[in-house]
Chains A and B, each alone.
Chain A
Amino acid sequence: MDFNHTEERRMLADSLRRSLERGADWAALAELGVLGALFTEDEGGFGGHGFDIAVVFEELGRAGSAEPVLEAGLAGGLLADAGRADLVEEIIGGGLKVTLAHFEPGLRYDSGPITTSANEGHLSGRKSFVTQAEGSDRLLVSALKDGEVELFLVDTAAEGVTLHTTPALMGGTISEVTLDRVAGEAVGNAHTLQQRLAAATLAVCADALGAMDVARDMTLDYLRTRKQFGVPIGKFQALQHRMADVAIEIEMARSAVINAAGHLDAAGPTRDRHISAAKNLIGRTARLVAEEAVQMHGGIAMTEEYALAPVTRRLIAADHRFGDEDWHLARFMRLEA
């Protein structure tokens, strides 16, 4: 038994943290190897396993990064599965930004059945919750062709593509995408979608874990420095005990991420059972941490100007991505048998 990350992963995490603190941009992240860490050696990268994903996204969550790394891993993973090593290489090098356009309105958190259709290579339909489409080069669109879900590459700027983009609760942007007879390049089927969504769900869990650490540390700092009634408010036992509970729950969340990462490569049902366990627990804990951090800070944490605001939103947003607490609880119960 060994709960330490490998030397390589520790080094990647350390250098990633330092460069994010210095405001690393997309090119810097690519150069650092962050994108390569999302893919296996077979796929042209040097990572691709659960713990690679966990260390990268914990740091991105800690930094509150809005760079499209999750999108690169999700769309890039599907492209790797389709044998498009050429595109994966471009993604790893930072020269190509692709985001998956799969979910559709009305599906809530389910990944199907979709209705976007492909007719003679032309795609029509509506895609929802497409993250970081703004600024992407291509969309990886799922569509029905002869009753099967197939994947197509589309230029984000192509004729017939309309983005309706808003800021996203987690940071970055999110778009509703309408496709009106858009020319798409067929890249293959979507048989590995569940496996790739599992990796993306793990990424969201690890991201939230990083954000939880930030919320805890900011709250601790505040408890130590904010004085009321002549003493730092951290001297009040009522707050001390709540802070202790927050610390306990964050360690549980860390373990849940480890469990999920350790089972990412397992067979489908085992993998999904662990992913759902983690996502359910992370959903509960992220909300607890966000709400307690705000409450223990008091009014200052209600303001946009204070640095906790985006952290709070990111923690709450985590539960709305790739299935919430209840969706994963139900799936966990189904997979129990």
Chain B
Amino acid sequence: MDLNYTQDEVAFRDEVRAFLKDKLPKELSDKIAANKMLTKEDYDLWHARLNDQGYLAGAWPKEFGGAEWTAVQKHIFEEECARAHAPRIVPFGVAMLAPVLQAFGSKEQQDYYLPRILSGEDWWCQGYSEPGAGSDLASLKTKAVREGDHYIVNGQKTWTTLGQYANKIFCLVRTSSEGKPQEGISFLLIDMDTPGIEVRPIILIDGVHEVNEVWFTDVKVPVENLVGEENKGWTYAKYLLTHERTGIAGVGFSQEGLQSLKRVARQEMQNGRPLIEDPLFAARLARIEIDLMAMATTNLRVVAAADAGKAPGAESSMLKVKGSIIRQQINDLARRAIGPWAQPFVSEQLSDNLFHPGPDYAAKATNVYLNNRKISIYGGSNEVQRGIITKAILGL
């Protein structure tokens, strides 16, 4: 048992820190710290800086130009980025599509798409969920019918994150209705410029435009855009979902959130004393910090096991459930901390004027609380994750 990073890992961490200190523009980290929405240009700029450093493909295998980071290195990178208020890497191309192409794509697809993901030429979004297929993703209905050299795609996808910026979408589509629902699904790459595609914004409860509906009407997709084999798409999608996901617990975000919560609780006054000295609030804060310390170690245990060659399966589900709850509890405390300043509700799409009348630290706390209710819903809701734990770990 040794709770410390190895010398090499510490050296890697220092290298990442130095990079962030040097290359992360203050305007960007200020925006993240203030929970402001980033523009496409912001994302593009950070994407390019990470790519120049070789960090974008850090987790990719060497044969595809990656650095083949260990799970611990990935964890360190994510933790340091969260701590420094760096933008998250938009995961759809780099972390979601790329591993699928590397494992199941044709040589042509790998040669064409992977460099474009790194260069930022392509911005990918994800076409999985449908209005009728959420937790039960395999019941999806968007249809692709083969006609000569093309598939004709009809249907609707939803919750397409940042789809408004994307020029490509990878989709799960139904190519057969025979057998089990999982057996008739294919994995298709689609150009967003193709006639018949319409993107409609969905405004969320905190008033931001972050997700979209994507509608397909007789969209012609060349057959060479099929990944792997027809009707094997579910296997590829599952590979993506069970592909080692160290970031799923969001420990870095929680640690950063706890620090910023403490800063607020030191400034906010209650009965002439800082809120952080209020016994009730201090106890709430302490409990969540205790949970987070255990969560960080739970996360590292799974990360270390991954490096020892034990691919995490259902353990990811444990990390997701507990990690999302802790993160949401921190968001909840941040909302409580600002007290009556939670009452003015200023949001991007619902207000004419974005000025919040309270202290700067109060401007987004309620919005973040509301917005992050999503993290126990998306990517397989916590109910779905508990179902996986019940079956795969507990054998019930």
Contact = CB atoms under 8 A, between A and B. Distances in A.
B344 A168 contact: yes
B134 A169 contact: no
A166 B203 contact: no
Contacts of B123: none
B205 A326 contact: no
A324 B336 contact: yes
Interface stretch (B28-36, B223-231, B304-312, B375-383): B375-383
A184 B266 CA distance: 37
Contacts of B357: 128, 164, 166, 176
Contacts of A170: 343
23 contacts: A105-B358, A108-B269, A108-B339, A108-B340, A128-B340, A164-B357, A166-B357, A167-B345, A167-B346, A170-B343, A174-B343, A228-B135, A229-B136, A299-B134, A299-B377, A304-B203, A304-B350, A319-B336, A320-B340, A320-B342, A326-B281, A326-B284, A330-B280
B39 interface: no
Contacts of A305: 202-203
A193 B179 CA distance: 71
B298 interface: no
B351 interface: yes
Interface string A30-47: 000000000000000000
B194 interface: no
A302 interface: yes
Contacts of A166: 344-346, 351, 353, 355-357
Contacts of B129: 299
A109 B340 contact: yes
Interface string B318-352: 00000000000000100110011011111101110
A108 B366 contact: no
Interface residue SS majority, chain A: mixed
A309 interface: yes
B371 to A, nearest CB: 8
Contact of A169 (B159, B343, B376): B343
Contact of A302 (B136, B204, B268, B356): B204
Interface string A165-194: 011111000101000000000000000000
B203 A321 contact: no
Nearest to A304: B203
B65 to A, nearest CB: 35
Contacts of A325: 336
A312 B336 CA distance: 16
A238 interface: yes
Contacts of B207: 304
Interface stretch (A67-75, A245-253, A290-298): A290-298
B360 interface: no
A147 interface: no
A6 to B, nearest CB: 34
Nearest to A283: B336
Contact of A304 (B204, B353, B381): B204
Contacts of B347: 167
Contacts of B232: none
Contacts of A103: 340
B278 interface: yes
Contacts of A316: 335, 342, 366, 369-370
B40 interface: no
B277 to A, nearest CB: 13
B110 interface: no
A295 B343 contact: no
A227 B192 CA distance: 30
Nearest to B382: A295
A170 B339 CA distance: 14
B88 interface: no
B139 A295 contact: no
A298 B381 contact: yes
Nearest to A320: B342
A128 B344 CA distance: 10
Nearest to A297: B377
A181 to B, nearest CB: 22
A320 B358 CA distance: 14
Contacts of A144: none
